Amino acid sequence: MGLMDASEWVRLIAVVGLFALALLSFARGGKSALGRPVGALVLDLGGLHFSVLAEHLTGAARWVGVHAVLTPLAPPLVLHVVTLFVGGRQAARRAVVAAYLAFGAIALVSALGFVVPALDGWAGGRGWALLVLAGWIPTLLLALALLLLHLAGTSAAEEKGATRTMLAALAVAGTAASTDLVASAGYPLPRLAAAGALAAALLLATAAFRFRLFDREVSSSAALYGGVMVAVAVVAYVVVFRLLGRSLAPLLLGAAALTAIVVVAARELAVSSNQAKAQSERLAMLGRFAAQMAHDTKNPLTAIVGAGQVLLGTTLTTEQREYVDLLLEQTTRIRAIAERYERLGRVEPALAQVDLEALIARVTGAQRLSAKSVAFHVEVAPGAARCTADPDLLEGALENLVRNAIEAMPSGGTLWVRAAEDAGAVLLQVEDTGEGMDARRAYRAFEEFYTTKRGGSGLGLPFVRRVAEGHGGEASIRSRPGEGTMLQIRLPHAATARRA
């Protein structure tokens, strides 16, 4: 074993980048729809390239088996990440499950090579490579097609940029990975997987930083800390393999000691993260108490604003007009403060018969006064005119939905409020023609304190979800960038009060 050649250095850099991105994905993207799947994917890619590097450095054939187990796990993870990114989890669910089953079977048979001598030579050989390649090519083409369709169907500039970055990462890494499989099958082709993995890691990091792939800001200090920690660990493993690779017992002892150090460092990082999380939860609890009181002030404030605007349209003396202007100004200030919070504490419905038609009329009537450029349409099906619910909680939830829809149409638009009946349940729907959301932001819309609006509190939609769940129902969202959003509360006719 001489000095490392250029390809091994490229692979080493790729391993460091992939493991750093995995750490970033799990630590900073844990609550994102893409956080854990992207983390699992890059961790798998980093592991398989590390096994190739370890095999080159130590000459131990067992590392080929590790590579043969990890390689088939990458295609289903790629398809899983892409379907989550484009928001097609339900439509492509069967394809994802089929990919996991098919490639999982290949990985399992490859793993049996460690204990079944007859399978030892198959893993990593020509037949294995052709089998993986036969499944990988259609999986890659399907993933690329999903991204291209998503790119064609979105108009938001940020989403287009993120999609193009994902396309580039998949195209580069997917093509490069294919060259290694073709070479393993015995065909004369240069192995480019390591360079492709490095390029993909850089592109995915770009998506995480520039396009908020994980729906939250990723600080450069967190990325630098994770990258340095991973780099030191990987280089330390390489040194251990270089120095002790020919002697099994010292190699195992050195690797175990190094692993213990890495585990301790990771534990310290986890403890630090948990402390920050606990602090965040305490602040969230305080926010809920404040939000509950603030929410109860918004209804009378809306009525006061509406009444003041009506008065301004009548004949008033100069002094009276000044008083009304002052009233509206101060009421608007109070409402601005109250709108930072929403009632998101304990939701315990007091069930009663609710006239939905009258409730919708009250809410839309109050909101029309402050949304002159929005066209309101109300549709109430005969079978959905009444339901069993807590009238105050339901009215508050509907107010949140209508207000969010209005705010999503700053230049005006059309807003529908519908009450329909479906399979023993009442559907309360609010649909707008506003800006819409991409799949990842829609996925997080009902999370507490998550908001994409400047100055928003992130309390409105979580309150809606808690109201729906408190009645034994559910809240859902359907949205596409540039095409508007439809939010729905589903309430069972036989509603039962639950603690949400």
Asked if residue 345 is part of any domain, the answer here is no
Looking up residue 434, the CATH number of its domain turns out to be: 3.30.565.10
Asked whether residue 391 falls in the same domain as residue 313, the answer is no
Asked if residue 202 is part of any domain, the answer here is yes
Q: What angle do CA 485, 488, 494 make, to 5 degrees?
A: 175
Decide: 433 and 427 in contact? Cβ < 8 Å. no
Asked whether residue 192 falls in the same domain as residue 232, the answer is yes
Which amino acid appears at position 424 of this protein? G
Asked whether residue 315 falls in the same domain as residue 204, the answer is no
Asked whether residue 59 falls in the same domain as residue 179, the answer is yes
Domain that holds residue 367: 352-492
Asked whether residue 410 falls in the same domain as residue 468, the answer is yes
Q: What is the pLDDT of residue 228?
A: 62
Calculate mean pLDDT across residues 87-106. Answer: 83
Count up the domains in the chain and report the number.
Answer: 3
Chain segment 447-493, per-residue pLDDT in tens: 766 666 655 556 678 888 888 888 888 888 888 888 889 999 998 87
Asked if residue 262 is part of any domain, the answer here is no
Asked if residue 344 is part of any domain, the answer here is no
Asked whether residue 124 falls in the same domain as residue 16, the answer is yes
Chain segment 195-230, per-residue pLDDT in tens: 888 888 778 777 766 656 655 554 555 555 555 655
Calculate mean pLDDT across residues 146-167. Answer: 85
Residue 71 pLDDT grade (very low, low, confident, very high; cuts 50, 70, 90): very high
Looking up residue 166, the CATH number of its domain turns out to be: 1.20.1070.10
- Please say if the pLDDT value at position 91 is more than 90: no
Asked if residue 411 is part of any domain, the answer here is yes
d(CA 55, CA 431): 57
* 205 CB-near residues (< 8 Å, 6+ apart): 17, 21, 24, 223
Asked whether residue 311 falls in the same domain as residue 437, the answer is no
CA distances from 256 to 69, 162, 250, 259, 262 (A): 22, 40, 10, 5, 10
Asked whether residue 20 falls in the same domain as residue 148, the answer is yes
Asked whether residue 34 falls in the same domain as residue 180, the answer is yes
CA dihedral (16, 20, 26, 31) positive or negative:
negative
- Please say if the pLDDT value at position 499 is more than 50: no
Q: Which of 311, 338, 365 is the last residue of a domain?
A: 338
- Please say if the pLDDT value at position 2 is more than 50: no
Asked whether residue 371 falls in the same domain as residue 477, the answer is yes
Asked if residue 499 is part of any domain, the answer here is no
Q: What is the pLDDT of residue 140?
A: 93
Ranked by mean pLDDT, the top range of 75-89, 285-299, 342-356 is 75-89
Asked whether residue 373 falls in the same domain as residue 295, the answer is no
Q: Which of 24, 452, 380 is nearest to 202 (CA)?
A: 24
* 272 CB-near residues (< 8 Å, 6+ apart): none
Q: Which of 220, 246, 272 is the last residue of a domain?
A: 246
Asked whether residue 225 falls in the same domain as residue 366, the answer is no
Asked if residue 267 is part of any domain, the answer here is no
With a threshold of 0.85, does the pTM exceed it? no
Q: Which of 307, 338, 369 is the last residue of a domain?
A: 338
- Please say if the pLDDT value at position 430 is more than 50: yes
Decide: 251 and 244 in contact? Cβ < 8 Å. yes
Residues of the chain with pLDDT > 70, as a percent, come to 72
Decide: 27 and 273 in contact? Cβ < 8 Å. yes
Asked if residue 270 is part of any domain, the answer here is no
